[in-house]
Chain A
Amino acid sequence: MLLGKVSLTPALCTALRISPAFSGIQKQIGAAATQNARLYASSQAAEAVLDKQAVGTTTATKAATAKKAQSVESQSFAVNMFKGQINPSQVFPFPSVMNEEQTQFLQELVPPVSKFFEEVNDPAKNDSLEKVEDSTMESLKEMGAFGLQVPQDLGGVGLTNTQYARLVEIVGQHDLGVGITLGAHQSIGFKGILLVGSPAQKAKYLPKLATGETLAAFCLTEPASGSDAASIKTLATLSPCGKHYILNGGKIWISNGGLAEIFTVFAKMPMMDEKTGQMKDKITAFIVERSFGGVTHGPPEKKMGIKASNTAEVYFENVPVPIENVLGEVGGGFKVAMAILNNGRFGMAAALSGTMKGVITQAVDHAANRVQFGSKIHTYGAIQEKLARMTMLQYVTESMAYMISGNMDSGSKDYHIEAAISKIFASTDILWLFPMVCIQGSGVERVMRDLRIFRIFEGTNDILRLFVALNGFQDAGKHLKSLQKALKNPLGNAGLLAGEITKRAKRTAGLSTGLTLQGSVHPELSHSGNLAVKAIEHFGVTVEDMLLKHGKNILHEQFVLKRVADSAIDLYAMVVVLSRASRSLSQGHASAQHEKILCETWCIEAYDRIMKNVKDLKSSSTTQVFKNMKAISAAVVENGGIVAPHPLGF
Chain B
Amino acid sequence: MSPASVFVCLSLTLLSDYPVIRVKPDNSGVVTDGVKHSMNPFCEIAVEEAVKLKEKKFIKEVVAVSCGPTQVTETIRTALAMGCDRGIHVEVSGKDYEAMGPLQIAKIFAALAKKEEASLVILGKQAIDDDCNQTGQMTAALLDWPQGTFASEVTIDGEKVKVVREIDGGLETIKISMPAVLTADLRLNTPRYATLPNIMKAKKKKIANMKPADLGVDMVSRVEVLRVDEPPTRLAGVKVETVDDLVAKLKANGTI
Contact = CB atoms under 8 A, between A and B. Distances in A.
Interface of A: 105, 107-109, 111-113, 115-116, 120, 139, 142-145, 148, 152, 157-158
A150 B226 CA distance: 55
Given A112-B193, A143-B193, 18 more contacts: A105-B199, A108-B74, A108-B78, A108-B199, A109-B196, A109-B199, A111-B38, A111-B78, A112-B194, A112-B196, A113-B196, A120-B193, A142-B195, A143-B195, A144-B195, A144-B197, A145-B196, A157-B200
A590 to B, nearest CB: 9
Contacts of B194: 112
A447 to B, nearest CB: 23
B77 interface: yes
Best-surrounded residue of A116, A139, A144 (most CB of chain B within 10 A): A144
Contact of A157 (B74, B81, B193, B197): B197
Nearest to A210: B197
18 contacts: A105-B203, A107-B74, A108-B78, A108-B199, A109-B199, A111-B38, A111-B78, A112-B194, A115-B193, A116-B193, A120-B193, A142-B195, A143-B193, A143-B195, A144-B195, A144-B196, A152-B200, A157-B196
A620 to B, nearest CB: 58
Contacts of B74: 107-108
Nearest to A145: B196
Interface residues of B, number: 13
Nearest to B34: A590
Nearest to B199: A108
A139 B193 contact: yes
Contacts of B195: 112, 142-144
A144 to B, nearest CB: 4
Nearest to A119: B193
Contacts, number: 38
Interface string B20-53: 0000000000000000001000000000000000
Nearest to A108: B199
A112 B199 contact: yes
Contacts of A107: 74
A314 B130 CA distance: 59
A236 B155 CA distance: 63
A108 B38 contact: no
B81 A108 contact: yes
Nearest to A148: B196
A111 B191 CA distance: 14
Contacts of B193: 112, 115-116, 120, 139, 143
Contacts of A112: 81, 193-196, 199
Interface string B72-98: 001001100100000000000000000
Nearest to A107: B74
Interface in B185-216: 193-197, 199-200, 203
B19 to A, nearest CB: 12
Contacts of B38: 111
A113 B193 CA distance: 9
A158 B201 CA distance: 13
Best-surrounded residue of A109, A111, A115, A120 (most CB of chain B within 10 A): A111
Which 5 pairs, one residue from A and one from B, show the smallest C-beta to C-beta distance? Answer: A144-B196, A143-B195, A112-B194, A144-B197, A157-B196
Contacts of A105: 199-200, 203
Contacts of B78: 108, 111
A209 B203 CA distance: 23
Interface string B146-169: 000000000000000000000000
Contacts of A157: 196-197, 200
A139 B194 CA distance: 11
Best-surrounded residue of A108, A145, A157 (most CB of chain B within 10 A): A108
Contacts of B203: 105
A194 B39 CA distance: 37
Contacts of B197: 144, 157
A608 B74 CA distance: 48
B37 to A, nearest CB: 11
Contacts of A143: 193, 195-196
Contacts of A108: 74, 77-78, 81, 199
Contacts of A115: 193
A107 B194 CA distance: 13
Nearest to A142: B195
Nearest to B77: A108
Contacts of B199: 105, 108-109, 112
Contacts of A109: 196, 199
A113 B39 CA distance: 16
A157 B228 CA distance: 46
A401 B58 CA distance: 49
A111 B203 CA distance: 16
A142 B196 CA distance: 8
Nearest to B36: A111
A101 to B, nearest CB: 8
A186 to B, nearest CB: 13
A143 B197 CA distance: 7
Contacts of A144: 195-197
A113 B200 CA distance: 14
B193 to A, nearest CB: 5
A108 B196 CA distance: 9
B87 to A, nearest CB: 13
A274 B196 CA distance: 49
Nearest to A144: B196
A421 to B, nearest CB: 30
A243 to B, nearest CB: 37
A104 to B, nearest CB: 9
A246 B200 CA distance: 42
A105 B74 CA distance: 10
Contacts of A113: 196
Nearest to A115: B193
B77 to A, nearest CB: 6
A275 B32 CA distance: 72
Contacts of A139: 193
A143 B81 CA distance: 11
Contacts of B77: 108
B17 to A, nearest CB: 10
Nearest to B198: A144
Contacts of B200: 105, 152, 157-158
B34 to A, nearest CB: 9
Contacts of A152: 200
A105 B204 CA distance: 12
Contacts of A142: 195
Contacts of A145: 196
Nearest to B74: A108
A143 B78 CA distance: 14
Contacts of B196: 109, 112-113, 143-145, 148, 157
A109 B194 CA distance: 9
B164 to A, nearest CB: 27
B197 to A, nearest CB: 5
A144 B38 CA distance: 22
Nearest to A590: B34
